[in-house]
Amino acid sequence: MTTPDWVAAVRGVLVDHGLVVAFAVVGLLTWTAAAISRRLTGGRLHGSAVAILLGLALAGVGGMATGGRKGIADVEWLAGMGLLGGGMLRDLAVVATAYGVRLEELRRTGLVGVLSLAFGIASAFAVGGAVAWACGFRDAVALTTIGAGAATFIVGPVTGSALGAPGDVIALAVAAGVVKAIVVMVATPFVAARIGLDNPRAALVYGGLMGTTSGVAAGLAATDERLVPYGAMTATFYTGLGCLVGPSLMYALFRALVG
């Protein structure tokens, strides 16, 4: 008679309950973060901010351990983290935050939202393209694609494949977008006071300027949860508009600049 494989049995149960395991793990992570926030920072660094930092650290560990591209969700029994934190449930939760927002508040800031989107998208392409130029890229396709990546990690590959950019340039654009999302997540609570991010209108402007839905979602959660619906509202239009102007207007501009 063979000895029963206890480890495989336990792992099997965990794998079968992916999403449920993720709820438990995130709860534990949040509890740990709250304790760290209280004990180590005296409450100065918001518990949500610490939780997001722990999440990012976990993603780094997962990536190094598995070599995959989905952070800790590449660990088989933690795959549920990818479902809980995936686009579908994230969007459901983002929309839910809009409950209780008064329509008048949004209507009054409509123009600001459009302005911030225009400035946000234009500056991302400009800055991303300038960095790519400084790093030795000279063709309009690569400059536009990396500029698109500096907008968001979705605009990058959409623009790149529309322009027929090579795979390594598209990979760079995705990486630039993920770096931006992470920087926005981590830095927002620290710069919020200095940039006046403490009211619905500023949150709306911030969402339109940053554009990265994940970065804005986490950045505002770590700063003040009440601002989430305003920032999320404008940010949600950013990626679509970025995909619209990337392969068309922005590419034309870059081609005119570099010949």
Partner 1 sequence: MVIYGTALLAACLVVGQIAGRLLGMLLGIDANVGGVGIAMLLLILVTSRLERSGRLAETTRGGILFWSAVYVPVVVAMAASLDVRGAFSRGAVAILAGLAAAAAGFAMVPLLCRAVSAPASLPPDEAAASGDAA
Among 141, 150, 163, 170, binds partner 1 (CB under 8 A): 150
Query: Terminal CA-to-CA distance of the chain, rounded, Å?
Result: 76
Q: Near partner 1 by CB under 8 A, which window of 4-12, 35-43, 77-85, 251-259?
A: 77-85
Contact by Cβ (8 Å): 95, 32: no
Instruction: Give 37's contacts (C-beta < 8 A, 6+ positions apart).
Output: 43, 45, 46, 47, 49, 50
Question: Which of 21, 124, 170, 253: binder of partner 1 (CB under 8 A)?
Answer: 124
Q: Which one among 17, 201, 249, 255 touches partner 1, defined by CB under 8 A?
A: 201
Rank residues 171 and 258 by Cβ distance to partner 1 and give the closer one. 171
| Residues 29 to 68 in contact with partner 1, rule: CB under 8 A | 29-30, 48, 51-52, 54-56, 58-60, 62-64
Stretch that binds partner 1, among 8-16, 37-45, 197-205, 250-258 (CB under 8 A): 197-205
With respect to partner 1, which residue has the nearer C-beta, 10 or 179? 179
Q: Assess 179 for contact with partner 1 (CB under 8 A).
A: yes
Q: Name the CA dihedral angle for 110, 115, 120, 121, rounded to a multiple of 10 degrees.
A: 100
CB of 12 to partner 1, least distance (A): 22
Q: Is the CB of residue 85 less than 8 Å from the CB of residue 68? A: no
Q: Within the chain, how many helices (H) and strands (E) appear?
A: 14, 0
The answer to whether 97 contacts partner 1 (rule: CB under 8 A) is yes
- For partner 1, the closer of residues 127 and 255 by Cβ is 127
User: Which is closer to partner 1, CB of 9 or CB of 35?
Assistant: 35
- Candidates 15, 93, 249, 258; binder of partner 1 (CB under 8 A) is 93
Task: Name which position in 237, 249, 255, 258 contacts partner 1 (CB under 8 A).
Answer: 237
Total number of residues shown for the chain: 259
Q: Tokens 């989430």 correspond to what residue? A: 228
DSSP-assigned letter for residue 247: I
- Contact partners, residue 157, CB within 8 Å, separation at least 6: 149, 170, 173, 174
What residues between 101 and 120 interact with partner 1 by CB under 8 A?
Answer: 101-103, 106, 108, 111-112, 115-116, 119-120
The letter for the amino acid at 161 is S
